[in-house]
Structure 1
Amino acid sequence: MVQKEITMNPLRPDRIIRSRRRTISLEITRDAVLVVRAPLRTTEAYIGSLIEQKRAWIEKKMAEMKGRPAPGKRRFVQGEEFLFLGKFYSLEILAGSDAGISLGDRFYIGEERLPECRRLLIAWYTEKAASILPARVAGVAAILDYRPKKIRISDTRRRWASCSTSGTLSFCWRLVLAPPEVIDYVIVHELVHMRQPDHSNLFWEKVRLAMPDYERHREWLRENEQMLAI
């Protein structure tokens, strides 16, 4: 009996980002997009070869991302719950009021402002992120002896944070919905990237030394990221 040889179609990256980094990394985003971050002179042939070597891991991660349930659509109605620093707060609509967003034992908004609730919530979270995240970065960086040059608050949808080659750390405002210890894990992750720009075993060992229980916080972020959407 003649056996037919099965040929698999080559995997191709959705995005290739070249920079002055020294190592190459593969990333599967929350949207199941394959992103390759590579040094400037890395050839496409080498990238293709690496992707084929990592095919099993890539396909597994893509299946995980595609299999995650889509977040429920926000309705912005009385009693709907929203996270802030890992705690749920119900939305309270104030009848006949034109008040913006405020937080007490729950989130409050005036009835007249309800049509713009989503925009007002995002503005509120972004403002809180601009004060909370730089302060937490400063505290963690001082303990671990890192000196980031600049902290930015962004509105990225595919990454929680990033570290530039110039020493700028960027964080998505949505992080302030997560518990403080999860925020600190993301901060540690990016600080370690300042000296270890890849995701090698050495990188994760440095993260572990800085935060021995980081895996628990990393898993929380993976399992609950859908709740951090507005």
Structure 2
Amino acid sequence: MELDYTIKRSAGRRKLTITVERDRSVVVHAPEGTSDEKIQQVVESKRKWIFEKSGHPQKYRDLPHPPGKELVSGESALYLGRQYRIEMVGTELHEVEFVQRFLIPAARKEKREDALREWYLGRAGEKIIPRVKVHARRLGVDICGVRIVDHRYRWGSCTPRDYVHFNWRLIKAPMVVIDYVIVHELAHLMEANHTARFWNIVRTQSPTMDKARAWLKEHGQLLEQEI
């Protein structure tokens, strides 16, 4: 069976790694100058692993309904692993407020999805970035910066120049899941591939790793929804 993959070369990258995205696409991250022949050789050596990853019955199953939903009073939205009621309120509010429920101003009714997304982005920056710095200190790794980004299928990533990126959608997940994803990406600054050493680092810093991974497998598709 033919194996399709995308190659992304980077001048700052030292090792070749392969990732299988949640949409089943295969991406090869390679140091600049790595030949196509060398990349194909590595991909072929990982063929069995790639097909096992892309065929995961939970992580990659299709959504039973289209992403997103209409935001109206009585609906709910995820935040830190829990569903909270949404209420449209006709007050002087100009932006979303959270008081154990989401209050969305009537003035933003026509663009309420954008309003809630802006709120999520703000909370992601407030809660995720400080946790990254805490875990970086504990692991003894230096990072150049943290960015909250918009990806549909990746929860986090790190760059060859030691920047770490995290998906704003993570703010919908429990803190135990957020901490696991943070540790996972920071551990890649110490060990590029998913070796035994890598998983030992992650498990030591995130002892609830198995619980977090199980939550992502079961509920990850909810995070992928726009809202």
SS of the residue corresponding to residue 199 of structure 1 reads: coil
Alpha-carbon contact 1:70-1:226 (below 8 Å) kept: no
Residues of 2 paired with 1:184 and 1:98: CA distance? 32
**Aligned residue for 1:225?**
220
CA drift at 1:34: 0.8
1:71–1:226 CA distance, 2 compared to 1 (3 A)? farther
Q: TM-score, normalising length from structure 2?
A: 0.88
CA drift at 1:85: 1.3
Q: Which moved more, 1:120-129 or 1:137-146?
A: 137-146
Alpha-carbon contact 1:161-1:190 (below 8 Å) kept: yes
**Aligned residue for 1:34?**
26
**Aligned residue for 1:49?**
41
Residues of 2 paired with 1:90 and 1:209: CA distance? 36
> Does residue 165 of structure 1 match 2:147?
no
Paired residues in the alignment total 221
Counterpart of 1:136, as a letter, is R
- Within 5 Å, which residues of 2 pair with 1:32-181? 32-64=24-56, 66-70=60-64, 72=66, 73-95=68-90, 99-181=94-176
Counterpart of 1:11, as a letter, is L
1:146–1:107 CA distance, 2 compared to 1 (3 A)? same
Residues of 1 paired with 2:96 and 2:65: CA distance? 23
Q: Which moved more, 1:143-152 or 1:127-136?
A: 143-152
CA drift at 1:163: 1.2
Alpha-carbon contact 1:21-1:197 (below 8 Å) kept: no
Alpha-carbon contact 2:17-2:192 (below 8 Å) kept: no
Residues of 2 paired with 1:71 and 1:27: CA distance? 26
Match of 1:206 among 198, 201, 205: 201
Tell me which structure has the larger Cα radius of gyration.
1
1:213–1:96 CA distance, 2 compared to 1 (3 A)? closer
Considering only aligned residues, what root-mean-square deviation do their CA atoms show, in Å? Answer: 2.0
CA drift at 1:57: 2.7
Alpha-carbon contact 2:176-2:208 (below 8 Å) kept: no
Counterpart of 1:196, as a letter, is E
SS of the residue corresponding to residue 121 of structure 1 reads: helix
Q: For structure 2, which runs of at least 5 residues remain unmatched after alignment?
A: none
Deviations 1:145-168 (A, max 9, x none): 223221111112232111122221
SS of the residue corresponding to residue 122 of structure 1 reads: helix
Q: For structure 1, which runs of at least 5 residues remain unmatched after alignment?
A: 1-7
Q: TM-score, normalising length from structure 1?
A: 0.87
CA drift at 1:69: 2.1
SS of the residue corresponding to residue 156 of structure 1 reads: coil
